[in-house]
């Protein structure tokens, strides 16, 4: 089954969200003005002795004066809350949760690349990813998935920075709130979900910082989840953890990086999960920022 133009939400990057309102205060007046006049941005890249790069659907734009090393260190200190220690578990893996609740990518120099562990020697770059919670952005897709009366496993795939995480944030909201109120469990390995985004009557648990394997085991065995949601299936280890769901009766909604179905199924991890029948539906999120989010394919494969 293939569905074209499953839904389009219209333009939604049309105003400053609370994350951007906080972030702009870190920068020079020139950078602040650029961000305020271009709220469609989804990344801000900061490097010492370089200009700030602002990333939007229209491209990558340098703006403002070059950031001095002193200024870079000031920005990094604010974002990490003045403590590298509390982020030592994620920094070697290229990210941390910043002071404003977003996921910040880091360019690090590492030491101790052995079985004994890794430590960060120096941070050379930051990539602030702008989180967005948009109520209703997933509803047409969710309605399509419910056409057969029950939620089934669904893999959403698209190119990077297309809006996959934005969609599944809202899918968690859709299925955990009235009228469905499923027991939804989110495996939030990279700490990108905020329980404050959901209403007090949402039937949702967010397992923050757990690997997919451990998180899924907890969701099935101790939280009796009716629906599991996770972001960014990356490698074979992720897939093996997810395959615990085979024959469990608990559907999974997840995302993966791939711009075409052919590219998706070139990944060993995806083929493994397909063989285990983890997913019933495969949905492609199109790159059409000027129209808002748009699924151009929804298929059973």
> What is the per-residue pLDDT across 206-220, written as a single tens digit (0 to 9) for each?
999 899 999 999 999
pLDDT higher than threshold 80 for residue 290: no
> Average pLDDT over the chain, rounded to whole?
87
- Look at residue 66 and give its three-state secondary structure: coil
Q: Does pLDDT of 34 surpass 60?
A: yes
Residues 241 and 288: their CA atoms lie apart, in Å, by 33
Beta-carbon contacts of 268 under 8 Å, excluding residues fewer than 6 positions away, are 236, 239
Q: 166 exposed, middle or buried (CB, 10 Å; 0-12, 13-18, 19+)?
A: buried
Residue 43: predicted pLDDT: 92
Q: Which residue has the higher pLDDT, 42 or 50?
A: 50
Q: State both tokens at 132.
A: 């967005």
Give the count of alpha carbons within 13 A of 145, CB side only: 23
Of the listed ranges 159-163, 270-274, 275-279, the least confidently predicted one is 159-163
Question: Torsion angle of alpha carbons 13, 299, 252, 169, nearest 10°?
Answer: 10
Nearest to 128 by CA among 108, 101, 165: 101
Entry field: residues in the chain: 301
Hey, is 16 helix, strand or coil?
Answer: coil
| Of 292 and 261, more confident | 261
- 288 confidence band (pLDDT: 50, 70, 90): low
116 — pLDDT class (breaks 50, 70, 90): low
Q: What is the pLDDT of residue 10?
A: 42
Lowest mean pLDDT among 151-155, 212-216, 233-237: 233-237
Confidence check: pLDDT of 136 > 90: no
| pLDDT over threshold 90, residue 191 | no
Q: Which residues of 145-157 are buried (b: 16+ CB within 10 A; e: fewer)?
A: beeeeebebbbbb
Q: Is 238 helix (H, G, I), strand (E, B) or coil?
A: helix
For residue 42, pLDDT over 90 is answered with no
Mean pLDDT score, 170-183? 95
Q: Give start and end residues of each alpha helix (H) in the chain.
A: 18-23, 29-37, 69-79, 139-145, 164-176, 212-221, 236-242, 261-264, 268-275
CA distance 70 to 67: 8
């Amino acid at each position: 089954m293939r569905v074209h133009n499953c839904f389009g939400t219209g333009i939604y990057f049309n105003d400053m969200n609370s994350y951007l309102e906080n972030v702009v205060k870190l920068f020079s007046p020139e950078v602040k003005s650029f961000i305020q006049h271009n709220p469609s941005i989804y990344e801000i890249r900061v490097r010492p002795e370089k200009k700030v790069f602002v990333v939007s659907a229209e491209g990558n734009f340098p703006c403002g004066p070059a950031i001095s090393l002193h200024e870079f260190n000031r920005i990094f200190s604010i974002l990490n809350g003045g403590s590298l220690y509390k982020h030592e578990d994620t920094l070697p893996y290229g990210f941390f949760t910043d002071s404003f609740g977003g996921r910040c990518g880091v360019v690090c120099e590492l030491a101790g690349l052995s079985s004994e562990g890794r430590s960060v020697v120096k941070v050379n770059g930051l990539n602030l990813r702008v989180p967005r919670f948009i109520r209703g952005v997933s509803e047409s897709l969710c309605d399509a998935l419910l056409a057969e009366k029950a939620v089934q496993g669904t893999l959403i795939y698209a190119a990077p920075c297309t809006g996959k995480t934005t969609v599944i944030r809202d899918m968690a909201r859709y299925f955990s709130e009235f009228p469905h109120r499923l027991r939804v469990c989110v495996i939030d390995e990279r700490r990108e979900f905020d329980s404050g985004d959901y209403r007090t009557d949402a039937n949702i648990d967010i397992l923050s910082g757990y690997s997919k394997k451990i998180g899924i085991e907890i969701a099935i065995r101790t939280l009796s989840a009716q629906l599991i949601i996770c972001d960014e299936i990356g490698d074979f280890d992720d897939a093996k953890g997810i395959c615990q769901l085979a024959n469990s009766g608990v559907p999974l909604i997840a995302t993966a990086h791939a711009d075409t179905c052919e590219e998706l199924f070139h990944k060993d991890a995806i083929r493994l999960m397909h063989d285990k029948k983890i997913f019933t539906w495969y949905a492609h999120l199109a790159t059409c920022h000027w129209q808002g989010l748009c699924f151009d394919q929804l298929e059973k494969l």
